[in-house]
Structure 1
């Protein structure tokens, strides 16, 4: 009997069927063991190429995108895993910045199905959506004969599904307060979880500037694993940062590497510091395998792109500023960029966020930039099988609590929010889920009617 081949939508639906129902709990150690078992049964595709592993609270996705762009421009076939995706699931498993074809995706899912079924009957329980997608990602990189992969953690570090890798370099972006219900309420706990990606296999750990409490934890873990550290402001330096509507310029120094007027198309002072992390990681790859010219570095930085991070989109006579800022540090970075690039301007703002999040500080940072607010709820289901959107009434209440005096209207969903827009320039922020849905509406693209 010949089994009929899946089509693209059926392959997607199979993966969606692995999203848990009922009360979801972070799988912790069991999830990590299950991920390792899944990959072992699959032939350990993640062990076929070196990996740069990136954790942190803010800037992970951008740092990964910059790293991948630098590697590709240097002539190396590069896998890039990011999480979450903005529009297409295939964004989580890019090679050289390209998304695979539908046929390749279907072939990968058909390869994975029997493996997932087998592992789900074994000692650690049912394979989740995130774990299956990660297995597809590592296998895709293997099939494409990647020279190297850049892997962003999903959540935390120690027990994140990506932490099965023995990475060549670990990168830790700024650590702050987010996902406290899983990672802990104290900065030391959160930093300990992020520092869980540090491995004895690391040539180096590259760290952003950190709050002192977080830095002490990173330093202790690196010392315990006998891994050297490179820290911004101590070992490498990002200086003379200039941001305007065209991009970001900066100088960079690390050991004998010194560059003036490096240029990013990515907007924001924080992106210069993300680029500093990426460059330092790059210069710690083994020189017998990886070499980069100044031209390739300049072009790699200039070509780096990631959607939904201070992304400016023109549509139907309006300008949309899309930024998924969803914690205090990210909102501070956004506010800094708004001050510099759109000096003195106030915006109509479409805002949505996850429920069970303390948004008072976040909205106190955002509200001075708003002249009209459209509070809405994203409709996407997360990897945990839940719609996690905060109710619009709660958002409105917190805006009022922080002293916002302008007009606030509500919309049941992002499509309705767009229909209520009045201004020529619109800021969309609060969640990558919201940015994803607004982006789909602006570009008339949806994975589910692919």
Structure 2
């Protein structure tokens, strides 16, 4: 099976209407010797902030000299980037070999028991398999959607984390913060420490109730640990962090006020991990270097200086609010040109309502080539009814900076992470 055949084969298992449940994952992994049970797992869920929190945590653990596996989704640059150990993506040849192994299970004598298996389940199983065979010290697993019935939720973690709760995938997870919180809290395990981020009270109450029922110790934002913003500088955010075991001033390598919350949660996860595993807490200077050096593609990422262009994967109302807060903080006196699109399960109208509030902004809608993308007709209708622009995203990216353009203009490409993956690939190809 070559690279193209691999992608074509696994794409056959992609579906917009998966049958949720863990039974298939349990059966599939059992046939591979239960690799997920051989790992020390840190399991991270939440609506937004998962990727950035994991990036901070991964960097800190690596600075301790550990071998750290990370499973994240979706990928932004290359298919193999979803599965990595210490910055190194799974080799294509290794991925192809593992896919051949799983194909033999899915299409062989066990096909009937495993029918309905999805693309995400296969890639999750491969991640567990790869990390176990490579004997990583710790595997950080990012929840794909929800938590309770997500395919990552077959592990027995040593630590869990829930970053934020917002309205997202409401057709699948529920249309209230409480309902979504209940799904996210499905990753909480009996007696396993839970770290939570800045979560709204009504959602946190649900999470706390479930954690208490499972006797899971809680380390909550604002209670067990605090962060305080000091200043925004050109390369990141400066903040103070305080907990019972660590105090200090740190600087993020990621832009955006919300990143101090993600970094603070990662610091708390780091120290909880050390306590759970009997490791000595790393000194502040080591941790500070890791926090400052953290980068994460597609999270308020500056990809061009002239014209000034930023990619940000704000794919739900909660993330849009965080994006707007950062734009108001850093680009209040800039003219803003925003290119936006989303997939069809997202709250299009709610996100447009938020984006239209931003002063001195020209908003353009677009569609990208993906079966999950919102239909072009719906996007054109939204653009027409709101008097917005509609344009192909390639044309938007290719337009030259006008000679008479305001000096302070920033272009923001935002929305679906699947969309940003295509944009990033296009920009890299154009650059080369």
What 5-or-longer segments of structure 1 have no aligned partner?
A: 1-5, 401-407, 446-450
Match 2:181 to one of 191, 214, 222: 191
Preserved CA contact (<8 Å) 1:241 1:272? no
Equivalent residue number for residue 31 of structure 2? 41
Preserved CA contact (<8 Å) 2:64 2:282? yes
Distance (whole Å) between structure 2 residues aligned to residue 290 and residue 129 of structure 1? 39
Change (3 A) 1:369 1:64: farther
Match 2:389 to one of 405, 409, 412: 409
Distance (whole Å) between structure 2 residues aligned to residue 290 and residue 171 of structure 1? 21
The reply on whether 1:374 has 2:361 as its aligned counterpart is no
The reply on whether 1:54 has 2:52 as its aligned counterpart is no
Distance (whole Å) between structure 1 residues aligned to residue 133 and residue 102 of structure 2? 13
Distance (whole Å) between structure 1 residues aligned to residue 75 and residue 417 of structure 2? 9
Equivalent residue number for residue 303 of structure 1? 293
Larger mean Cα displacement after TM superposition, 129-138 or 361-370: 361-370
Distance (whole Å) between structure 2 residues aligned to residue 417 and residue 431 of structure 1? 16
Equivalent residue number for residue 224 of structure 1? 213
Equivalent residue number for residue 264 of structure 1? 252
Larger mean Cα displacement after TM superposition, 338-347 or 262-271: 338-347
Distance (whole Å) between structure 1 residues aligned to residue 188 and residue 12 of structure 2? 33
Question: TM-score scaled by structure 1?
Answer: 0.88
RMSD (Å) for aligned C-alpha atoms: 2.1
Equivalent residue number for residue 438 of structure 1? 423
The reply on whether 1:209 has 2:218 as its aligned counterpart is no
Equivalent residue number for residue 153 of structure 1? 143
What 5-or-longer segments of structure 2 have no aligned partner?
A: none
Equivalent residue number for residue 81 of structure 1? 71
Cα shift at 1:289: 4.1
Equivalent residue number for residue 18 of structure 1? 13
Distance (whole Å) between structure 2 residues aligned to residue 388 and residue 35 of structure 1? 29
Larger mean Cα displacement after TM superposition, 72-81 or 359-368: 359-368
1:338-393 deviations in whole A, cap 9, x for unaligned?
Answer: 11122321211111112354333322332224533331101134xxxx44456331
Equivalent residue number for residue 177 of structure 1? 167
Distance (whole Å) between structure 2 residues aligned to residue 164 and residue 16 of structure 1? 23
Preserved CA contact (<8 Å) 2:229 2:237? no
1:14-67 deviations in whole A, cap 9, x for unaligned?
Answer: 2112224xxx423222xx110111111111111222111111111111111111
Distance (whole Å) between structure 2 residues aligned to residue 182 and residue 323 of structure 1? 24
Change (3 A) 1:291 1:365: same
Matches within 5 A, 1:268-417: 268-285=256-273, 286-289=276-279, 291-314=281-304, 317-355=306-344, 357-367=346-356, 368-369=358-359, 371-381=361-371, 386-389=372-375, 391-397=378-384, 399-400=386-387, 408-411=388-391, 413-417=392-396
Question: TM-score scaled by structure 2?
Answer: 0.92
Preserved CA contact (<8 Å) 2:335 2:410? no
Preserved CA contact (<8 Å) 1:352 1:389? no
Preserved CA contact (<8 Å) 1:353 1:389? no
Equivalent residue number for residue 405 of structure 1? none
User: How many residues of Structure 1 are paired with residues of Structure 2 in the alignment?
Assistant: 421
Equivalent residue number for residue 9 of structure 1? 4
Cα shift at 1:279: 1.0
Distance (whole Å) between structure 1 residues aligned to residue 23 and residue 259 of structure 2? 35
Cα shift at 1:123: 3.0
